[in-house]
Amino acid sequence: MLLATGDEFAGYRIQRLLGSDGTGEVYLAQDPRLPRFDALKILPAHLATDISYRQRFEREADLAATLSHPHIVAVHDRGEERGRLWISMDFVDGTDAARLLRESGPIPVPAVLDIVDAVADALDYAHERGLLHRDVKPANILLSTPQHGPRRILLSDFGVARRADEVSGLTSTNSVSYVSPEQLTGQQVDRRSDQYSLALTAYELLCGTKPFDGSNAATVIAQQLNAAPPRIGGVRPDLAAADPVFTRALAKHPDGRFATCGEFAVALRSSLTGTAPAPVVTGAPAAAPMAPPATVPPTFGYAEPAGLAPPYPPFPTSPTVAGYPHPVGSAPPYPAPTPMKRSRSGVVGIAVPAILAVLLAVAITFAVAVPGRSGPAPAAAEPDWEPYVAAAKTVAEAIYTSDYRTVDQDYQRILDITTGPLHDDFKEHADVVIDGTRSLEGVSSATAVGAGLEKLGTDRADVIVAVKVQTGRASWRDPFPDVERLRLTIERVGDEYKASRMQEVR
C-alpha cells in the first residue's frame, strides 16, 4: 500500500515518501495535533496478524518511547490503521550513512569515529534499559543537515520489533550483511549482537565495502557463519592498527566480543588515533586464541593490495561526540575470533529451518570443518604421497561441482569419496542441500589448478588444493573467489583414499 501526497493515515497527512525497505514504508507526515512533521513508518500488512509480533511491537515501541538520548530518534506514537501497524518518530532532515557511502565512497576516519562513538552511546543507553536494536546498519544511522550547529548523528528504528527467529528478507543480500551469527542461527541475542552489527557498519563506513559480501543472501549467510572476518588492513593498509579490534568485535561467538558497544568504540578510536586508552573488559572472558594454521606452501599465497585508492572524498565532520563516558583502562591483547558451536565435525549447526533452506543450498561451497588433528609421525619407509594428492584434487572438484539437474548423483559422489566426520555432515544435510540446490537451480563446476602435500603420515595426509570455480547462473555470478583454497585431510581406507576433514584456507 503506497500513499500519495495529501492522503490521510491514522490522522497524519502524508507529504511524501521518504523511503521503503523490507520493514515497511516511511513517509514525511503532518502530525495530527502538533504543528510539526514526523517520520511515519508503516509496517507490512502480514505483521499485524502475527499475535506474538504485535505483542512485541507494542512492548518495544512503548519502551522505545521512553528513551531520551541525543543520538536516538525519538518515538512519538504507535498504533494500527487499515490492518497495518505504524509508528511515528522524529523527522531528521538530512541523509543517512548508507546514502552517503553510495554518493561519496568511504567516509574519512574522524567522521567514522564520531559516528561510531555516537551510535555506541545510543546502543549502550538502550541496552541498559532492556532494549535491543537488532538492525544496526548504515541506513539506520541518520545524519542531519547542519543548520544551527554541528551535524547531528542519530540511530533510528528503535521500537520496530523483530521476531527472535526473523532475518528480514533472506533473498536480500543487504538484509543479512549486518546480522550476527547468533541471529542467523536462531539463538538468543543480547547487547553483543548489536556490537557485532556496529562493527560491521564501522568497517563498511571506513572501507566502502562490506566485510561479508556476495551476489546472493545465501553466500553472505555462509560467510557470516563460517568465514574469518577480513583484515581491514588488507583493504586499507593505513588502518591496519585496527585489525585486532575488528577481529575481536567480529568474533563468531558473543563471548569473544567486546562486552559493550562503548568498549568497541573506545578501542577503535584508540587504535586509529592513540587518543584514548582501551577499555577494561568486563564481560565474559574470551576464548583462548586459536593456534595459527600450519604454513601453506608459497605457491598458495596471495598478495595484499599494494596501495590505496585516490584520496577519500571530504565529509563535513562534527566535533567529537561527548556522549556518555566509557570505562577506560589498559588494553588487553585482543583474542582471535571464537568459533560458533559446531556439530561433531565442525560444520556450523543451524537452528532455523528458513535459513537452512537458503544456506545449505550452497553448503557444499562453504562447508568448513575445524582443523584436523596432526597426523601420526611418518613411518621409517616414507609412504607414497601421490595417491593422497590425487584424491584431494578429486574431492575438492566434487565438492565445488553441482548441477540441480543431476544433484542426486553429484551428492552421492561426494558421499562416496568422503569418510568420518566430513562424510557424516554431508549425509546429515543431504536432503536439505539437494532440495535447496534444485530450488535455486544452482550450477557450478570446478577444476583443481594446484595441489601440494603439507603433511604426510601413515595412512593419512594433509593436502592443500587450489580450485578454480565457475558458475553457470547469472544470480550466482560471484559467490566464490577466483580460486578457492582448501586444506583436506585424506585417509587411506582399505584400497581407497577419502577425505575426512576440510578447512578453508585464507
Cell 584400497 found at: 495
Buried b (16+ CB within 10 A) or exposed e, 407-429: beebbebbeebbbbbbbbbbeeb
How many helices, marked H, and strands, marked E, lie in the chain? 16, 14
- Among residues 227, 229, 262, the alpha carbon closest in space to that of 248 is found at 229
Spatial distance between the Cα atoms of 155 and 74, rounded to a whole number of angstroms: 9
Spatial distance between the Cα atoms of 361 and 170, rounded to a whole number of angstroms: 13
Residue 180: phi and psi, rounded to 5, are -75, 155
Cα angle value 28/32/35 (rounded, 5°)? 75
Cα angle value 41/46/51 (rounded, 5°)? 100
Calculate the alpha carbon distances from 208 to 96, 200, 217, 240, 246 in Å. Answer: 14, 11, 19, 16, 16
- Among residues 235, 211, 242, 239, the alpha carbon closest in space to that of 308 is found at 235
Per annotation, catalytic residue among 117, 121, 135, 410: 135
Is 225 within 8 Å of 181 (Cβ atoms)? yes
Spatial distance between the Cα atoms of 467 and 78, rounded to a whole number of angstroms: 54
Is 24 within 8 Å of 8 (Cβ atoms)? no
The CA-to-CA distance between both ends of the chain, in Å, stands at 46
DSSP-H helix ranges across 147-255: 173-176, 181-184, 191-207, 217-226, 232-235, 243-249
- Mapped onto helix, strand or coil, the DSSP state of residue 126 is helix
The secondary structure of 22-35 as a DSSP string is: TTEEEEEEE-SSSS
Instruction: List strands edge to edge, sheet with 483-493.
Output: 402-403, 443-457, 460-471, 483-493, 496-504
- Among residues 411, 405, 450, 426, the alpha carbon closest in space to that of 502 is found at 426
Question: Is there a catalytic annotation at residue 90?
Answer: no
- Mapped onto helix, strand or coil, the DSSP state of residue 208 is coil
List Cβ neighbours of 180 (8 Å cut-off, separation of 6 or more): 189, 192, 193, 196, 197, 224, 254
Task: Write out the catalytic residue numbers.
Answer: 135
